[in-house]
Amino acid sequence: MFEGSKILVVEDNYLLAEVVCEFVLDCGMEPIGPASGVETGLVYARQAPLDGALLDINLDDRFCFPICAMLAQRSIPFAFLTGYSHLSLIPQAYRHVPLVAKPFDPDELKGVIHNMLDGRRDGPLVRAASSIARLAAVS
């Protein structure tokens, strides 16, 4: 269904970046990059023909949010692939973004990529807010 989609990979860990690129390739998509930092990621986000992106949140002690802004400006969907645990630091504008924890489960990542490309918004903070709203309605 998303065969040939171009997926930007932004990851500062070289070995993990290679694993993610290989995974994207195995899914029948074309990995773009990998970009290892914010500046390189911004170059790809500004100029490369992209269908989606997988972003590590923390790139050498810098957040990927400038890359998110550029992708959003171009209407390119993205997902977070991160080991970062402080999700409350994700800006409100990106709380709908899907998130996969590292180390990733291949089936989960594949599902997130498909949902991302399909335009579904189901980030962890959106799910948490929905759960809280449901609990408040029951009380």
pLDDT per residue as tens digits for the range 50-79 = 999 999 999 989 999 999 999 999 999 999
> What is the per-residue pLDDT for 107?
93
Collapse the DSSP code of 82 into the 3-class scheme (helix H, G, I; strand E, B; otherwise coil) and give the result: strand
> What is the per-residue pLDDT for 123?
55
Whether 80 contacts 97, CB under 8 Å: yes
> What is the per-residue pLDDT for 127?
46
In a domain, 1, yes or no: no
> What is the per-residue pLDDT for 122?
60
Q: 134 lies in which domain range?
A: 6-138
Q: Which residue has the tokens 């498909």?
A: 114
Kindly list the distances between the CA atom of residue 9 and the CA atoms of 21, 82, 127, in Å, as whole numbers in the listed order.
Answer: 7, 12, 25
pLDDT per residue as tens digits for the range 8-40 = 999 999 999 999 999 999 999 999 999 999 999
Regarding pTM above 0.75, the answer is yes
> What is the per-residue pLDDT for 139?
54
How many folded domains does the chain comprise?
Answer: 1
In a domain, 115, yes or no: yes
pLDDT per residue as tens digits for the range 75-131 = 999 999 988 777 788 898 998 899 899 989 999 999 999 999 987 666 555 444 444
Query: Is 135 or 71 the better-scoring residue by pLDDT?
Result: 71
In a domain, 119, yes or no: yes
CATH code at position 50: 3.40.50.2300
Tell me how far apart the alpha carbons of residues 24 and 27 are, in angstroms, rounded to a whole number.
Answer: 5
